[in-house]
Protein backbone atom coordinates (compact mmCIF):
# COMPACT_ATOMS: atom_id res chain seq x y z
CA UNK A 1 0.00 0.00 0.00
CA UNK A 2 1.16 3.58 -0.62
CA UNK A 3 1.13 5.20 2.83
CA UNK A 4 2.10 8.77 3.67
CA UNK A 5 3.41 9.71 7.10
CA UNK A 6 2.75 13.34 7.90
CA UNK A 7 5.03 14.52 10.71
CA UNK A 8 8.29 12.63 11.16
CA UNK A 9 9.23 13.64 14.67
CA UNK A 10 10.16 10.87 17.12
CA UNK A 11 6.92 8.92 16.82
CA UNK A 12 6.19 9.65 13.16
CA UNK A 13 9.70 8.47 12.22
CA UNK A 14 9.30 5.27 14.24
CA UNK A 15 5.93 4.60 12.60
CA UNK A 16 7.37 5.24 9.13
CA UNK A 17 10.20 2.79 9.92
CA UNK A 18 7.63 0.16 10.90
CA UNK A 19 5.58 0.71 7.75
CA UNK A 20 8.73 0.34 5.63
CA UNK A 21 9.71 -2.79 7.53
CA UNK A 22 6.38 -4.50 6.81
CA UNK A 23 6.70 -3.74 3.10
CA UNK A 24 4.67 -0.61 2.38
CA UNK A 25 5.64 2.05 -0.12
CA UNK A 26 6.15 4.96 2.29
CA UNK A 27 6.17 8.69 1.56
CA UNK A 28 6.92 11.28 4.23
CA UNK A 29 6.53 14.99 4.91
CA UNK A 30 7.86 16.98 7.83
CA UNK A 31 8.02 20.74 8.51
CA UNK A 32 11.75 20.41 9.21
CA UNK A 33 12.76 18.43 6.10
CA UNK A 34 16.06 17.33 7.72
CA UNK A 35 14.10 14.90 9.90
CA UNK A 36 12.97 12.96 6.81
CA UNK A 37 16.55 12.16 5.73
CA UNK A 38 17.07 8.96 7.76
CA UNK A 39 13.76 7.73 6.33
CA UNK A 40 14.62 8.52 2.71
CA UNK A 41 17.92 6.69 3.27
CA UNK A 42 15.81 3.71 4.40
CA UNK A 43 13.67 3.81 1.26
CA UNK A 44 10.91 6.37 1.90
CA UNK A 45 10.14 9.18 -0.53
CA UNK A 46 10.09 12.73 0.87
CA UNK A 47 7.43 15.07 -0.50
CA UNK A 48 7.53 18.87 -0.33
CA UNK A 49 4.11 19.63 1.20
CA UNK A 50 1.30 17.88 3.09
CA UNK A 51 -0.93 18.39 0.02
CA UNK A 52 1.65 16.57 -2.18
CA UNK A 53 1.72 13.73 0.36
CA UNK A 54 -2.04 13.27 -0.05
CA UNK A 55 -1.66 13.29 -3.83
CA UNK A 56 0.69 10.30 -3.94
CA UNK A 57 -0.80 8.05 -1.22
CA UNK A 58 -3.86 5.90 -0.56
CA UNK A 59 -3.65 6.34 3.20
CA UNK A 60 -2.05 9.06 5.34
CA UNK A 61 -0.91 8.54 8.93
CA UNK A 62 -0.67 11.89 10.74
CA UNK A 63 1.58 12.21 13.83
CA UNK A 64 1.93 15.81 15.01
CA UNK A 65 2.79 17.41 18.33
CA UNK A 66 -0.30 19.37 19.35
CA UNK A 67 -3.46 21.26 18.36
CA UNK A 68 -1.53 24.18 16.83
CA UNK A 69 0.50 21.80 14.65
CA UNK A 70 -2.68 20.02 13.52
CA UNK A 71 -4.37 23.31 12.57
CA UNK A 72 -1.29 24.43 10.61
CA UNK A 73 -0.72 21.14 8.80
CA UNK A 74 -4.36 20.44 7.84
CA UNK A 75 -5.50 24.00 7.13
CA UNK A 76 -2.27 25.69 5.97
CA UNK A 77 -1.75 26.95 2.37
CA UNK A 78 -0.36 23.58 1.13
CA UNK A 79 -1.99 21.66 3.96
CA UNK A 80 -3.56 18.20 3.96
CA UNK A 81 -6.99 19.66 3.20
CA UNK A 82 -5.58 21.19 -0.01
CA UNK A 83 -4.63 17.73 -1.31
CA UNK A 84 -6.87 15.47 -3.41
CA UNK A 85 -8.42 13.68 -0.46
CA UNK A 86 -11.45 12.09 -2.14
CA UNK A 87 -11.52 8.35 -1.51
CA UNK A 88 -8.44 8.38 0.73
CA UNK A 89 -8.02 7.24 4.34
CA UNK A 90 -6.60 9.51 7.04
CA UNK A 91 -5.49 8.00 10.37
CA UNK A 92 -4.52 10.70 12.86
CA UNK A 93 -2.37 9.40 15.72
CA UNK A 94 -1.51 12.76 17.31
CA UNK A 95 -2.50 13.41 20.92
CA UNK A 96 -4.68 16.52 20.75
CA UNK A 97 -7.96 17.86 22.17
CA UNK A 98 -11.02 15.69 21.39
CA UNK A 99 -12.78 18.64 19.71
CA UNK A 100 -9.75 19.14 17.43
CA UNK A 101 -10.20 15.59 16.12
CA UNK A 102 -13.93 16.21 15.69
CA UNK A 103 -13.55 19.44 13.67
CA UNK A 104 -10.64 18.16 11.58
CA UNK A 105 -12.45 14.87 11.00
CA UNK A 106 -15.51 16.77 9.77
CA UNK A 107 -13.36 18.84 7.36
CA UNK A 108 -11.61 15.72 6.03
CA UNK A 109 -14.99 14.00 5.53
CA UNK A 110 -16.27 17.05 3.59
CA UNK A 111 -13.41 16.42 1.16
CA UNK A 112 -14.61 12.84 0.63
CA UNK A 113 -12.02 10.96 2.72
CA UNK A 114 -12.44 8.58 5.65
CA UNK A 115 -11.02 9.90 8.94
CA UNK A 116 -10.11 7.90 12.04
CA UNK A 117 -8.47 9.26 15.19
CA UNK A 118 -6.03 6.85 16.75
CA UNK A 119 -3.80 8.36 19.42
CA UNK A 120 -1.54 5.70 20.86
CA UNK A 121 -0.04 4.43 24.06
CA UNK A 122 3.56 3.23 23.86
CA UNK A 123 6.65 5.09 22.79
CA UNK A 124 9.19 4.94 19.97
CA UNK A 125 10.44 1.36 20.59
CA UNK A 126 6.91 -0.17 20.56
CA UNK A 127 6.15 1.95 17.46
CA UNK A 128 9.14 0.44 15.63
CA UNK A 129 8.03 -3.05 16.72
CA UNK A 130 4.34 -2.61 15.80
CA UNK A 131 3.34 -2.87 19.47
CA UNK A 132 1.45 0.36 20.12
CA UNK A 133 -1.89 0.54 21.93
CA UNK A 134 -4.43 2.42 19.77
CA UNK A 135 -7.34 4.35 21.29
CA UNK A 136 -9.59 4.71 18.29
CA UNK A 137 -12.52 7.03 17.61
CA UNK A 138 -14.61 7.25 14.47
CA UNK A 139 -17.37 5.73 12.35
CA UNK A 140 -17.45 1.94 12.40
CA UNK A 141 -16.94 1.63 8.62
CA UNK A 142 -13.96 4.03 8.66
CA UNK A 143 -12.38 2.16 11.57
CA UNK A 144 -12.85 -1.14 9.72
CA UNK A 145 -11.05 0.39 6.73
CA UNK A 146 -8.18 1.56 8.96
CA UNK A 147 -7.79 -1.83 10.70
CA UNK A 148 -5.25 -3.45 8.33
CA UNK A 149 -2.85 -0.53 8.86
CA UNK A 150 -3.55 -0.26 12.60
CA UNK A 151 -2.96 -3.99 13.03
CA UNK A 152 0.54 -3.60 11.59
CA UNK A 153 1.34 -0.78 14.02
CA UNK A 154 -0.39 -1.92 17.21
CA UNK A 155 -0.49 -4.80 19.68
CA UNK A 156 -3.96 -3.72 20.89
CA UNK A 157 -6.69 -1.67 19.22
CA UNK A 158 -9.65 -0.34 21.19
CA UNK A 159 -12.43 1.40 19.28
CA UNK A 160 -13.88 3.45 22.14
CA UNK A 161 -16.54 5.56 20.37
CA UNK A 162 -17.12 8.41 17.94
CA UNK A 163 -14.46 10.97 16.98
CA UNK A 164 -13.09 12.59 20.13
CA UNK A 165 -13.52 9.48 22.29
CA UNK A 166 -10.08 8.12 21.37
CA UNK A 167 -8.42 11.39 22.32
CA UNK A 168 -10.30 11.56 25.62
CA UNK A 169 -9.17 8.03 26.58
CA UNK A 170 -5.59 8.79 25.46
CA UNK A 171 -5.48 11.86 27.72
CA UNK A 172 -6.92 9.70 30.51
CA UNK A 173 -4.26 7.00 30.21
CA UNK A 174 -1.38 9.48 30.22
CA UNK A 175 -2.64 11.43 33.22
CA UNK A 176 -1.70 8.94 35.99
CA UNK A 177 1.62 8.08 34.32
CA UNK A 178 2.71 11.72 34.12
CA UNK A 179 1.56 12.38 37.68
CA UNK A 180 3.64 9.32 38.63
CA UNK A 181 6.89 10.78 37.22
CA UNK A 182 6.43 13.85 39.44
CA UNK A 183 5.31 11.71 42.43
CA UNK A 184 8.42 9.53 42.01
CA UNK A 185 10.56 12.68 42.08
CA UNK A 186 8.90 13.59 45.39
CA UNK A 187 9.48 10.06 46.78
CA UNK A 188 13.14 10.30 45.80
CA UNK A 189 13.35 13.67 47.55
CA UNK A 190 12.23 12.07 50.82
CA UNK A 191 14.86 9.32 50.43
CA UNK A 192 17.74 11.59 49.40
CA UNK A 193 19.16 12.06 52.95
CA UNK A 194 19.45 8.24 53.31
CA UNK A 195 22.19 8.13 50.62
CA UNK A 196 21.07 4.69 49.41
CA UNK A 197 22.62 3.55 46.11
CA UNK A 198 20.36 4.81 43.31
CA UNK A 199 19.89 1.42 41.64
CA UNK A 200 18.90 -0.18 44.99
CA UNK A 201 16.42 2.58 45.72
CA UNK A 202 14.83 2.32 42.27
CA UNK A 203 14.73 -1.48 42.61
CA UNK A 204 12.84 -1.13 45.92
CA UNK A 205 10.45 1.48 44.46
CA UNK A 206 9.84 -0.71 41.39
CA UNK A 207 8.84 -3.82 43.36
CA UNK A 208 5.71 -2.22 44.81
CA UNK A 209 2.01 -2.01 43.95
CA UNK A 210 2.13 1.70 43.17
CA UNK A 211 4.61 1.40 40.31
CA UNK A 212 3.51 1.66 36.66
CA UNK A 213 4.75 -0.81 34.06
CA UNK A 214 6.65 2.09 32.46
CA UNK A 215 9.23 1.66 35.24
CA UNK A 216 10.26 -1.68 33.71
CA UNK A 217 11.75 0.26 30.81
CA UNK A 218 12.62 3.57 32.45
CA UNK A 219 13.62 2.61 36.02
CA UNK A 220 17.20 1.70 35.07
CA UNK A 221 17.61 5.00 33.21
CA UNK A 222 16.32 6.97 36.20
CA UNK A 223 18.73 5.09 38.51
CA UNK A 224 21.66 5.95 36.21
CA UNK A 225 20.74 9.63 36.16
CA UNK A 226 20.41 9.65 39.94
CA UNK A 227 23.88 8.09 40.03
CA UNK A 228 25.26 11.03 38.02
CA UNK A 229 25.12 9.71 34.43
CA UNK A 230 23.54 11.73 31.59
CA UNK A 231 19.87 11.15 30.78
CA UNK A 232 20.38 9.86 27.23
CA UNK A 233 18.03 10.06 24.25
CA UNK A 234 14.48 11.36 24.57
CA UNK A 235 11.63 8.99 23.79
CA UNK A 236 8.76 11.21 25.02
CA UNK A 237 9.67 14.83 25.67
CA UNK A 238 8.85 16.90 28.76
CA UNK A 239 7.25 19.42 26.36
CA UNK A 240 4.89 16.79 24.87
CA UNK A 241 4.09 15.40 28.33
CA UNK A 242 3.31 18.91 29.61
CA UNK A 243 1.04 19.39 26.59
CA UNK A 244 -0.86 16.18 27.49
CA UNK A 245 -1.43 17.33 31.08
CA UNK A 246 -2.45 20.82 29.95
CA UNK A 247 -4.82 19.33 27.36
CA UNK A 248 -6.37 17.01 29.95
CA UNK A 249 -6.92 19.90 32.38
CA UNK A 250 -8.44 22.07 29.62
CA UNK A 251 -10.64 19.23 28.37
CA UNK A 252 -11.89 18.51 31.90
CA UNK A 253 -12.97 22.16 32.18
CA UNK A 254 -15.23 21.66 29.15
CA UNK A 255 -16.85 18.84 31.15
CA UNK A 256 -17.14 21.21 34.17
CA UNK A 257 -14.73 18.94 36.06
CA UNK A 258 -11.58 19.81 38.00
CA UNK A 259 -8.37 17.76 38.00
CA UNK A 260 -6.44 19.13 40.99
CA UNK A 261 -3.65 16.54 40.98
CA UNK A 262 -3.11 16.80 37.23
CA UNK A 263 -3.13 20.62 37.49
CA UNK A 264 -0.52 20.49 40.24
CA UNK A 265 1.68 18.08 38.23
CA UNK A 266 1.25 20.36 35.21
CA UNK A 267 2.74 23.26 37.20
CA UNK A 268 5.79 21.06 37.97
CA UNK A 269 6.20 20.12 34.29
CA UNK A 270 5.94 23.82 33.35
CA UNK A 271 8.61 24.62 35.90
CA UNK A 272 10.89 21.88 34.53
CA UNK A 273 10.39 23.16 30.99
CA UNK A 274 11.25 26.69 32.13
CA UNK A 275 14.41 25.24 33.74
CA UNK A 276 15.52 24.06 30.27
CA UNK A 277 14.24 20.46 30.32
CA UNK A 278 11.63 20.84 27.54
CA UNK A 279 13.43 18.51 25.13
CA UNK A 280 14.56 16.04 27.80
CA UNK A 281 12.75 12.75 28.28
CA UNK A 282 9.67 13.03 30.53
CA UNK A 283 11.37 10.80 33.11
CA UNK A 284 13.71 13.77 33.77
CA UNK A 285 10.84 15.07 35.91
CA UNK A 286 11.61 12.36 38.49
CA UNK A 287 15.30 13.27 38.76
CA UNK A 288 14.82 17.03 38.43
CA UNK A 289 12.68 17.34 41.56
CA UNK A 290 15.19 16.00 44.15
CA UNK A 291 17.97 18.04 42.49
CA UNK A 292 15.79 21.16 42.56
CA UNK A 293 14.97 20.64 46.24
CA UNK A 294 18.66 20.14 47.09
CA UNK A 295 19.55 23.38 45.26
CA UNK A 296 16.73 25.28 47.00
CA UNK A 297 18.09 24.10 50.40
CA UNK A 298 21.71 25.09 49.72
N1 LIG B 1 7.13 10.15 21.96
C2 LIG B 1 6.30 9.33 22.54
O3 LIG B 1 6.72 8.44 23.30
C4 LIG B 1 4.81 9.43 22.30
C5 LIG B 1 4.01 8.34 22.65
C6 LIG B 1 2.64 8.38 22.40
C7 LIG B 1 2.09 9.52 21.82
N8 LIG B 1 2.90 10.59 21.52
C9 LIG B 1 2.26 11.76 20.87
O10 LIG B 1 2.68 11.74 19.52
C11 LIG B 1 2.73 13.08 19.01
C12 LIG B 1 4.13 13.32 18.43
O13 LIG B 1 5.05 13.17 19.48
P14 LIG B 1 6.63 13.05 19.23
O15 LIG B 1 7.19 12.47 20.46
O16 LIG B 1 6.87 12.42 17.91
O17 LIG B 1 7.02 14.60 19.17
P18 LIG B 1 8.20 15.29 18.38
O19 LIG B 1 9.35 14.39 18.20
O20 LIG B 1 8.40 16.60 19.05
O21 LIG B 1 7.55 15.55 16.92
C22 LIG B 1 6.53 16.50 16.78
C23 LIG B 1 6.12 16.57 15.33
O24 LIG B 1 5.14 17.63 15.19
C25 LIG B 1 5.63 18.57 14.22
N26 LIG B 1 5.20 19.92 14.54
C27 LIG B 1 5.23 20.54 15.74
N28 LIG B 1 4.72 21.79 15.63
C29 LIG B 1 4.40 21.96 14.31
C30 LIG B 1 3.82 23.02 13.57
N31 LIG B 1 3.43 24.16 14.16
N32 LIG B 1 3.64 22.85 12.24
C33 LIG B 1 4.01 21.68 11.64
N34 LIG B 1 4.52 20.64 12.29
C35 LIG B 1 4.71 20.77 13.62
C36 LIG B 1 7.15 18.45 14.29
O37 LIG B 1 7.72 19.02 13.14
P38 LIG B 1 9.24 19.61 13.23
O39 LIG B 1 10.13 18.40 13.23
O40 LIG B 1 9.35 20.44 12.00
O41 LIG B 1 9.31 20.39 14.50
C42 LIG B 1 7.28 16.92 14.38
O43 LIG B 1 7.04 16.32 13.13
C44 LIG B 1 2.39 13.99 20.18
O45 LIG B 1 1.04 14.32 20.12
C46 LIG B 1 2.69 13.11 21.40
O47 LIG B 1 1.95 13.50 22.54
C48 LIG B 1 4.24 10.56 21.74
Distance, in Å, from the CA atom of 117 to the CA atom of 138, rounded to the nearest integer, reads: 7
Q: Which residues line ligand 1 (CB under 6 A)?
A: 7-12, 30-32, 35, 63-65, 68-69, 72-73, 94-95, 120, 123-124, 235-237, 240, 244
Strands 59-62 and 89-92: parallel
* Ligand 1 atom showing the smallest separation from residue 35 Cα: 39
Segment 44-96, tens digit of pLDDT: 999 999 999 999 899 999 999 999 999 999 999 999 999 999 999 999 999 99
| Ligand 1 pocket, mutate which of 7, 78, 278 (most atoms under 8 A from CB) | 7
pLDDT digits 0-9 by tens, 144-188 = 999 999 999 999 999 999 999 999 999 999 999 999 999 999 999
Q: What is the pLDDT of residue 297?
A: 76
Interval between CA 252 and ligand 1 midpoint (Å): 23
Which ligand 1 atom is the nearest neighbour of the CA of 32?
A: 40
CA angle 150, 81, 69 (to 5 degrees): 75
Q: How far is the CA of 239 from the centre of ligand 1 (A)?
A: 10
Q: How far is the CA of 163 from the centre of ligand 1 (A)?
A: 20
Q: Are 198 and 229 in contact (CB under 8 A)?
A: no
CA–CA gap between residue 79 and residue 226 (Å, rounded)? 44
Q: Give residue 294's pLDDT.
A: 79
Residue 232, Ramachandran bin (φ over 0: left; ψ between -120 and 50: alpha; else beta):
left
Give pTM, 2 decimals. Answer: 0.97
Atom of ligand 1 nearest to the CA of 68: 31
- Taken as a whole, the chain contains a residue count of 298
Q: Which of 10, 31, 65, 94 to mutate to test the pocket of ligand 1 (most atoms within 8 A of CB)?
A: 65
The number of the ligand 1 atom at minimal distance from the alpha carbon of 7 is: 43
* Residue 190 CA, ligand 1 centroid: distance in Å: 34
Under the banding of pLDDT at 50, 70 and 90, the label for residue 11 is: very high
More confident residue, 210 or 142: 142
Amino acid sequence: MKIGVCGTGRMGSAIAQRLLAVGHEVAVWNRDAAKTEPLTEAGAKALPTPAALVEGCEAIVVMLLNDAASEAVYRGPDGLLKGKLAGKLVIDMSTVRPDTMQTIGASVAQHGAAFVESPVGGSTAPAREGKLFALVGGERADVARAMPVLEQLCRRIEHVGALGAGSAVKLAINLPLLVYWQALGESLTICKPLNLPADRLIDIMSDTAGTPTAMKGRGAVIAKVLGGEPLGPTAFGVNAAKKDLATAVQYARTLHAELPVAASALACFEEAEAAGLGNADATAISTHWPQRQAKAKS
